[in-house]
Structure 1
Amino acid sequence: MTPSLFRLFIHQLVAIVLLSPCYTVGASDNTPISQARLQQVLASPDRLDSDRGRDSDRQPARVLTFSDLAAAETVLDLYAGGGWYSEIMARAIGPDGVVYAHNDALTWRFGQAELIRRTADARLPNVIRIDKVPLASIDMPDQSVDLAFMAINYHDLFFTHRVRNGKRQVMRDGVVDHRAALANIRRMLKPRGRLIISDHLAHPGSGYVAANDLHRIDPAIVRHQLEKAGFELEAEGYFLRNPNDDLNLLVFDPAIRGKTSRFIYKFVKQ
């Protein structure tokens, strides 16, 4: 058992005790954290300056209000990368909650340095890392997660290669099995648990080509796959849209980086 999974096991064991009928301290009452409280979290003086600099583009207070994030919840941050959202959510839910910051081998490759720095020396005691584990292999207990969260990364399920200096670089051997991944996420969510997905907007009908080449995805693909997997669309947000985004551009193009038009969905487990 890896150290990350051992810590996960211990936390889940503690959670079982705390959530038993005789021990209710720390259980979430499911009251969403207010946007005003989230703004206070974002204004914390000990946040990293590099993190604070992304707030205006990413609008985390609005995103997490949309997500109905509540104190003391169990959150699974999928494809967490460097853990930018993991830290904000961990601060917001408080010491009685926990955020599992997940990465598979590919997203770990790009986010590991930042995430290791962020979590060093128990800086975020209620963040537990799940490193280099495929989505379909995350081994958390059934119905243990209140909120699963995936920010601007669903397209990475279909990201297999990139071209650099005219050379094709293979990033994955093939696309991620989204059916197996979604089935596992659904298994871990509590009844009516939420799954939040936001991502860079692609042209309708652009298929997996945009997902691989532009790091964008047609939201119709996401909705279709999630509904087929047993999730119900509860809400869609439009506050991350940017009408000036050129959907033909790679999201890392300097002309649009950090300012892409994004969709956000809130699904619940049926």
Structure 2
Amino acid sequence: MNKPVPLLCACLLGVGTLMSSLPVLSKDAAVAATDIHVSPQLQAAVASSSRTPANVVRDAYRHPAQTLAFFGLQPQQTVIEITPGGGWYAEILAPYLRESGQYVAAVVDPTALPAGGGRDYQQRSRDGLAKKFAEAPALFDRATEVAYNPAAPVLGKPGSADVVLTFRNVHNWRSSNQAEGLFRAFFDVLKPGGVLGVVEHRAKADVPADDKSGYVGQAQVIAMAEAAGFKLDASSEVNANPRDTKDHPNGVWTLPPSNNHDAADAAKYKAIGESDRMTLRFVKV
């Protein structure tokens, strides 16, 4: 795990099979949470006792079973998760894909960054994920890693992935002028008919690229994906939170789980919960 690992071959779904797993929808169709079917195999992965208990608590806000089902996830697919962080979703995805598919963790290559805090942060993140994988081989022994340069990202061989997933990352890419290149990299690595699944903190409206709130306008995310060649297939409100007023003193980090607020306001922000989030499914056509 100390060096980029090439994407491994796996049993892949054909394009027709991939597309048939998704409901037929009109452009910009919204899918109700009650209309999302979660397979027993996916539900079992989410309900597994191998998951970190503190991570399970956040299911109430992240809705992993419904979110992954909405993205059309199948156990035979090659799935690339962009910057998995501490491995919250990896705990579900790697075991779910272990037998028939392939889980790929796409991490920032620290050596591609200038010396300093940014490089150190990415190295700690990469090392932490590698440690997590090494300590639980029964879950992660078949997971692979690809390290990318955020200034010129390459996530694997063109057309090699069925699904690319990103959770709450777009605001960081916009503020560092990396979003355009990353969305192009997503498009390039996906096979025709492949799915890009995006979950992101949702602003009330468009925000400047240098906005520090952590929120992004939904129309802005759609525009970035479409500029890279994707078509918006559907949206879901499964991760919506109408209690989030989005006007917090420390942006999205005011809310759980960061809780960057005065101790006196703990009850207020606990009552709000985690951020309001868009959930968007794009297709490479």
**Coarse TM-score class (shorter-chain normalised):** 0.7 to 0.9
2:177 to 158, 168, 175: 175
Structure 1: which amino acid aligns with 2:143?
V
Structure 2: gaps (5+ residues): 23-36, 111-117, 260-268
Asked which structure has the greater RCO (Cα within 8 Å, sep 6+), the reply is 2
RMSD: 2.5
1:157 to 166, 170, 173: 173
1:145 to 161, 183, 190: 161
**Aligned-partner SS, 1:84:** coil
What is the alpha-carbon distance in structure 1 between the residues aligned to residue 247 and residue 241 of structure 2? 14
- The answer to whether structure 1 residue 117 and structure 2 residue 131 are counterparts is yes
- 1:114 Cα deviation after fit: 4.0
Identity of aligned residues (%): 24
Structure 1: which amino acid aligns with 2:66?
R
Q: 1:268/1:136 Cα in 2 relative to 1: closer, same or farther (>3 Å)?
A: farther
Q: How does 1:83-232 map to 2 (within 5 A)?
A: 83-104=87-108, 105=110, 108=122, 111-112=125-126, 114-121=128-135, 122=137, 123-131=139-147, 133-134=149-150, 136-159=152-175, 174-176=176-178, 178-210=179-211, 213-232=212-231
Number of residues of Structure 1 aligned to a counterpart in Structure 2: 238
Structure 1: which amino acid aligns with 2:281?
K
What is the alpha-carbon distance in structure 2 between the residues aligned to residue 147 and residue 54 of structure 1? 23
Structure 1: gaps (5+ residues): 16-25, 160-173
Structure 2: which amino acid aligns with 1:133?
N
Query: What TM-score does the superposition give when structure 2 sets the normalisation length?
Result: 0.75
Structure 1: which amino acid aligns with 2:104?
Y
Contact 2:231 2:282 in 1 (8 A): yes
Structure 1: which amino acid aligns with 2:217?
D
Structure 2: which amino acid aligns with 1:77?
E
**Aligned-partner SS, 2:140:** coil
The residue aligned with 2:279 is 264
Residues 23-76 of structure 1 deviation map (CA, whole Å, 9 limit, x = unaligned): xxx343645783433221122122221222221111000100101000121011
Q: 1:136/1:185 Cα in 2 relative to 1: closer, same or farther (>3 Å)?
A: farther
What is the alpha-carbon distance in structure 1 between the residues aligned to residue 127 and residue 104 of structure 2? 17
Residues 75-102 of structure 1 deviation map (CA, whole Å, 9 limit, x = unaligned): 1101211121122112222322111111
What is the alpha-carbon distance in structure 1 between the residues aligned to residue 124 and residue 196 of structure 2? 23
